[in-house]
Chains A and B, each alone.
Chain A
């Protein structure tokens, strides 16, 4: 009866401890924090930018300039950062149909229908070489906030729900972005100004 001999089992009671140690090591070294930030899209690179001048009507253009003293200038007035959001909101939406703010046009949002909105507005953000990044970032943040608040107000008007109550990839969110598409132009450098944006007419 030699073949029937039992093999003693390997004592594996410490395997759990070993794997626990490994687990704790990975737990500690894992950086679960996801990167966050403000997303923007740069314009396409044009080698001869001077020749390709964007033609924007004056009423459709809001120039926000941050100068080397970190002052924010809108339409040549120095403003505080707290004022910027409301100026931007009024400019983007033009709620009172003013002549000096962007013209409203009929525009079809795919899947939603036709809306009347300012289709051609552009916010031009300009900086000096010595402008501090922190201020620039805050201005970007305020401009994003203007868009997000407008979209949120529009969603509430349409669906009586706030944007945070929708799923992140809901169609309604896409419609709101179609209603107020973000149009922030970051000016060509070295010209430091509206040099590349010419007023038409």
Chain B
């Protein structure tokens, strides 16, 4: 019985490998805040990842709680930040985007359920100042209607 020629198998696997290498975004941030996201029914998928910038708002994780206390904190990229830093951060992120994506920039806000609105409102004001007007209240998907 003739054996199946498997000499092209590595090539095949390599092409699948390259596909995954391309779609993987290696710049994943490690969350330093605990975020328990809300769930909604009317949510949309953010298809173009290259247009999205993230802002995380929540309480510090266990490791940081001893230094920072249990209060709500904002995380930009990998570090904690004050509200005032949001504007510069967003402008900087937009500069790094491809030019064709810049007008369509979306800021996705991952916010913990128990956050008070005054922080959220302050961040939103900063976003308005930075002219980043398309915002997303990031959430999980649910089918349960209120």
Shortest distance between the CB of B1 and any CB in chain A (Å): 19
Give Cα distance in the complex from A132 to B140, angstroms: 17
- Given the contacts A26-B21, A34-B45, A42-B133, A15 and B10 also touching, CB distance less than 8 Å: yes
Question: Does A189 lie within 8 Å of B118, measured CB to CB?
Answer: yes
A-B contact pairs, 11 of them (CB 8 A): A16-B13, A34-B47, A35-B45, A35-B136, A38-B42, A66-B117, A85-B146, A131-B116, A131-B117, A189-B122, A189-B125
What 0/1 pattern do residues 25 to 46 of A give for CB contact below 8 A with B?
0110111101111111111110
Give Cα distance in the complex from A131 to B111, angstroms: 13
Q: Which 10 A-B pairs have the closest CB atoms?
A: A129-B118, A144-B42, A15-B10, A134-B113, A45-B128, A37-B138, A141-B40, A37-B136, A26-B20, A189-B121
- Secondary structure type dominating chain B contacts: mixed
Interface size class on chain A is 35 or more
Q: Is A4 an interface residue (CB 8 A)?
A: no
Interface size class on chain B is 35 or more
Which positions in B face A, CB cutoff 8 Å? 6-7, 9-10, 13-14, 16-17, 20-21, 23-26, 28, 38, 40-47, 49, 52, 54, 106, 108-109, 111-118, 120-122, 124-125, 127-129, 131, 133-141, 145-146
Of B24, B38, B54, which is within 8 A of A138 by CB? B38
- Given the contacts A29-B24, A30-B24, A144-B42, A22 and B49 also touching, CB distance less than 8 Å: no
Shortest distance between the CB of A68 and any CB in chain B (Å): 9
Give Cα distance in the complex from A19 to B113, angstroms: 43
Of A15, A27, A137, which is within 8 A of B139 by CB? A137
